[in-house]
Amino acid sequence: MKLLQFMLILFNVVMLAFIVYIGYRLLRHHRRKKEDRKNSTALCPKCGSANGQMIGSNIIFAPSKYKCRDCDYEGVFLLVINHKVKEFREYVRKQNQAKKIKKDVKNKKN
Ligand SMILES: [Zn+2]
């Protein structure tokens, strides 16, 4: 009988510890996400420019739409963490280059 009681208490302690741990993880995740949002910039996915103007943000829960002042792209901008902006721009530049080469090859064939 005493063993059963002991097991029950042990089980409760373990469950409590588990719940506290999960709560702590959730809180940390939430805080980190908030911080990420604060430390990130909305960038144009087409040219990597941060020079966007917000348009049509009247719908709640829908991502805000932007219009790029540099390439006229209209749509959702990507939220990029500030220290990854350079990397993202490099990626976009390479993508655009690849697209241009593909286009050139196509034009040459025709
Ligand atoms: Zn753009």
Q: What is the CA radius of gyration of the chain?
A: 25
Whole-number Å distance, alpha carbon 97 to ligand 1 midpoint, is: 15
Q: Tell me: the pLDDT tens digits for 9-56? A: 999 999 999 999 999 999 999 998 888 778 889 999 999 999 999 887
Whole-number Å distance, alpha carbon 68 to ligand 1 midpoint, is: 5
Instruction: Copy the structure tokens of residue 2.
Output: 């005493």
Q: Rounded to an integer, what distance in angstroms lies between the CA atom of residue 36 and that of residue 66?
A: 20
Task: Return the SS3 of 97.
Answer: helix
For the chain, the structural domain boundaries read 1-38, 40-110
Whole-number Å distance, alpha carbon 33 to ligand 1 midpoint, is: 25
**pTM for this model (two decimals):** 0.59
State the average pLDDT for the chain. Answer: 89
